[in-house]
Amino acid sequence: MILVEHATVITVDAGRRILADGSVLVDGSRILQVGPSREVRPPREPDRVIDGTRLVVTPGFVDTHVHLSEHLNRGLLLDDIPVDRYLPDWLIPLYAVMTAEDEQHAALLAGIEMIRTGTTTFCEAGTLFDTGAVADAVERLGMRARTACDRPPGRRSRPTRQCSRSWAAAAGSCAAGRSCSASAPAPRS
């Protein structure tokens, strides 16, 4: 059990309260209590107490458009690539050589960076080739994820139906339709 106390806590409750001296009590993957510090009472001694003085506690952020595979090429692309050359000269060649292992490592890297900045949920914009490998990484990180994988560019693109089946098998249920989306297992709050 972890208690963060005496922090500025931004809530998403019905009153949209901001608590200047707030506390958050977490047990495993569940948030047990959120409230003014004087009112949050752990049922037992917490394993860890974090002094939140001068810190802000917020709900997890959501990145609504990410390309996980592109985390591997950050810093390699020039800043002034003309837009009409970006895809054919850089991204399609990158996607053409990506392996399932590459994609899983990219997802892990992206996920670790997101977690470090407070992002707990993301939407992969549809550039996955091995959805199972990525779903395994997402589950390992304990994040929430969605994907829209209609027909990614590159030599290994597959139709939506196949994408839908593989993401659904690896990460949960998937909606029918032109693009698929599914949530990976994640901690409940």
Domains in the chain: ranges and CATH: 2-57 (2.30.40.10), 61-171 (3.20.20.140)
Strand 144-147 with 48-51, pairing: unpaired
Q: How far apart are CA 119 and CA 21, in angstroms?
A: 23
What sign does the dihedral 94-100-102-105 (CA atoms) show? Answer: positive
How does residue 144 score in pLDDT terms, banded at 50, 70 and 90? confident
State residue 106's pLDDT score: 92
pTM over 0.75: no
Average pLDDT over residues 82-88: 83
Q: How far apart are CA 134 and CA 136, in angstroms?
A: 5
The count of other CB atoms within 10 Å of the CB of residue 94 is 17
Most confident of 99-108, 149-158, 178-187: 99-108
Q: What is the DSSP string of 127-156?
A: --S-HHHHHHHHHHHT-EEEE--S--SSTT
